[in-house]
């Protein structure tokens, strides 16, 4: 098989890249190791930046998001039993975010790709990448007992943190930076109305909690938990009881519970790989970086990488220019590191750290008290949360 761009991974990065390339007449094949149902079954992000919303519109897949998604102008910070609203729209001069689950984004992209009759190879085994330091890279995979080869001009490694793309780069060509946090997030999904109209990020002496949602009748909650926690140790009732203890009295009283439709634990880490380009191989999304979900940046960084990469590849084919390709890694990494900083800062502010004790809790409460009463500090939070501008030079 021959194509212009071979994309590895059919998560949001790979699917969005495929859709943007298709809209510009650039041919791409996606190779995914799992089934479509498996990909759709992963519960992940919930908040989209304006840049992501605009990209989904540009890709022609934003219609359902605008109908079913929820525009949020603010978030709430809860500490010392009191909630404080950060009016992001007012503080940033009009910016807002969209609450619309990653599952729905993936579904919309999958439907568009299928409707366009584009090739996505699901359940591809033993995917490998070859000769990306030359001008004729190839991707190989196994399917139905046969080995297949894709000849291409470029390979887009959109295969996430555990993918084959970054793992195929010689260690000498790669620098990685990592911080593993001493806790995880225990998440639950429930078909019940959310406890509040906007998200609540809670710093409590018992640990962090987040009240989020997917719609007005489906809610998503998270509790900070220890790294070695097991989902089996948490009945729904135990989850709800602990969540109530981390919320203010009004939220605890109004919390509507129900049987969990999903319950999982996600580890928290900050990770960045540099550079994000190796000859004809490009890394995008979680294949290149991971941020703790506190700042809701993971999916939004993936889409900004894809924005840079799609424009660079389209420029290569349409204008015979390599300027975008040559600047891809630098452009992505400037935005990646700013989002990594914000995600690290917000995580450090909101979570209970075993080694900082009561003094650490008092310092966090003092910083939060300053933040919610300082327009400058609240604006800094707001402009990072809604998403910083794309890097242009």
- Contact residues for ligand PHB, defined by CB under 6 A: 45-47, 199, 210, 212, 220, 293-294, 296
- Smallest gap from Cβ 249 to ligand PHB, in A, equals 23
- CA pair distance 218, 212, nearest whole angstrom: 9
Out of 137, 194, 292, 293, pick the active-site residue. Answer: 293
- Smallest gap from Cβ 391 to ligand PHB, in A, equals 23
Give which of ligand PHB, ligand FAS, none residue 153 binds (C-beta under 5 to 8 Å, depending on kind): none
> Among residues 127 and 372, whose Cβ is nearest to ligand FAS?
127
- Smallest gap from Cβ 310 to ligand PHB, in A, equals 25
Out of 100, 181, 308, 385, pick the active-site residue. Answer: 385
> Among residues 132 and 346, whose Cβ is nearest to ligand PHB?
346
CA 344 to chain centre: 14
Give which of ligand PHB, ligand FAS, none residue 69 binds (C-beta under 5 to 8 Å, depending on kind): none
* Known active-site residue 222: no
> Among residues 157 and 372, whose Cβ is nearest to ligand FAS?
157
List interacting residues with ligand FAS (CB under 6 A). Answer: 8-14, 31-34, 39, 44-46, 102, 124, 127, 158-160, 162-164, 266, 285-286, 293, 296-299, 302
CA 353 to chain centre: 24
- CA pair distance 150, 184, nearest whole angstrom: 39
> Among residues 228 and 355, whose Cβ is nearest to ligand FAS?
228
> Among residues 372 and 381, whose Cβ is nearest to ligand FAS?
381
Out of 22, 289, 297, 331, pick the active-site residue. Answer: 297
Looking at the chain, the number of H-run helices and the number of E-run strands are 13, 20
Give which of ligand FAS, ligand PHB, none residue 302 binds (C-beta under 5 to 8 Å, depending on kind): ligand FAS
- Smallest gap from Cβ 80 to ligand FAS, in A, equals 25
Sign of CA dihedral 157, 159, 165, 167: positive
Give which of ligand FAS, ligand PHB, none residue 220 binds (C-beta under 5 to 8 Å, depending on kind): ligand PHB
Give which of ligand FAS, ligand PHB, none residue 159 binds (C-beta under 5 to 8 Å, depending on kind): ligand FAS
Sign of CA dihedral 317, 320, 326, 332: negative
* Known active-site residue 297: yes
> Among residues 161 and 317, whose Cβ is nearest to ligand PHB?
161
- CA pair distance 278, 129, nearest whole angstrom: 12
- Smallest gap from Cβ 286 to ligand FAS, in A, equals 4
Out of 100, 141, 201, 221, pick the active-site residue. Answer: 201
Longest dimension (CA), the chain: 63
Decide: helix, strand or coil at residue 337.
helix
Alpha helices in the chain (DSSP H): 12-23, 36-41, 50-58, 63-68, 88-91, 102-115, 164-167, 236-246, 249-254, 298-319, 323-350, 357-373, 375-385
* Known active-site residue 259: no
* Known active-site residue 201: yes
Give which of ligand FAS, ligand PHB, none residue 294 binds (C-beta under 5 to 8 Å, depending on kind): ligand PHB
Q: How many CB atoms are closer than 10 A to CB 228?
A: 7
> Among residues 8 and 45, whose Cβ is nearest to ligand PHB?
45
Decide: helix, strand or coil at residue 1.
coil
Give which of ligand FAS, ligand PHB, none residue 286 binds (C-beta under 5 to 8 Å, depending on kind): ligand FAS
- CA pair distance 175, 74, nearest whole angstrom: 37
CA distances from 93 to 89, 239, 336, 375 (A): 6, 38, 24, 13
* Known active-site residue 354: no
12 close to 53: Cβ distance less than 8 angstroms: no
> Among residues 164 and 332, whose Cβ is nearest to ligand FAS?
164
- CA pair distance 364, 322, nearest whole angstrom: 47
Tell me which residue has its CB nearest to ligand PHB. Answer: 46
Give which of ligand FAS, ligand PHB, none residue 285 binds (C-beta under 5 to 8 Å, depending on kind): ligand FAS
- Burial label, 345 (beta-carbon count in 10 A; 0-12, 13-18, 19+): middle
- Burial label, 64 (beta-carbon count in 10 A; 0-12, 13-18, 19+): middle
Out of 22, 72, 289, 351, pick the active-site residue. Answer: 72
**Which residue numbers are catalytic?**
72, 201, 293, 297, 385
């Amino acid at each position: 098989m021959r194509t212009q761009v071979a994309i590895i991974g059919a998560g949001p990065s790979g699917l969005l890249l495929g859709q943007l390339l298709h809209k510009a007449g650039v041919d791409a094949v996606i190779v995914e190791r799992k089934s479509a149902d498996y990909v759709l079954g992963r519960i992940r992000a919930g908040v989209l930046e304006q840049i992501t919303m605009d990209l989904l519109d540009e890709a022609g897949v934003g219609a359902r998001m605008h109908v079913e998604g929820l525009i949020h102008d603010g978030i709430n910070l809860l500490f010392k039993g009191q909630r404080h609203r950060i009016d992001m729209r007012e503080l940033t001069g009009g910016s807002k975010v969209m609450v619309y689950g990653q599952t729905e984004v993936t579904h919309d992209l999958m439907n568009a790709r299928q409707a366009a009759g584009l090739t996505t190879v699901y359940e591809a085994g033993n995917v490998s990448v070859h000769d990306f330091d030359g001008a004729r890279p190839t991707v190989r995979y196994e399917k139905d007992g046969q080995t297949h080869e894709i000849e291409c001009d470029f390979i887009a490694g959109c295969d996430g943190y555990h993918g084959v793309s970054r793992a195929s780069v010689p260690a000498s060509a790669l620098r990685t930076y990592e911080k593993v946090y001493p806790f995880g997030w225990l998440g639950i999904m429930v078909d019940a109305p959310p406890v509040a109209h906007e998200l609540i990020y809670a710093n409590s002496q018992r640990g962090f909690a987040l009240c989020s949602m997917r719609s007005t009748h489906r809610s998503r909650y998270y509790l900070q938990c220890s790294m070695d926690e097991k989902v089996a140790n948490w009945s729904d009732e135990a989850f709800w009881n602990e969540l109530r203890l981390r919320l203010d009295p009004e939220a605890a009283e109004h919390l509507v519970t129900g049987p969990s439709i999903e319950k999982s634990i996600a580890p928290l880490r900050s990770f960045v790989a540099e550079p994000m380009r190796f000859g004809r191989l490009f890394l995008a999304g979680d294949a290149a970086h991971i941020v703790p979900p506190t700042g809701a940046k993971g999916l939004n960084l993936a889409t900004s990488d894809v924005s840079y990469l799609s424009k660079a590849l389209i420029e290569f084919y349409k204008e015979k220019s390599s300027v975008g390709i040559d600047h891809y890694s630098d452009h992505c990494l400037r935005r990646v590191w700013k989002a990594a900083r914000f995600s690290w800062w917000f995580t450090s502010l909101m979570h209970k750290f075993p080694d900082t004790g009561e003094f650490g809790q008092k310092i966090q409460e003092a910083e939060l008290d300053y933040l919610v009463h300082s327009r400058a500090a609240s604006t800094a939070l707001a402009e990072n949360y809604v998403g910083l501008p794309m890097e242009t030079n």
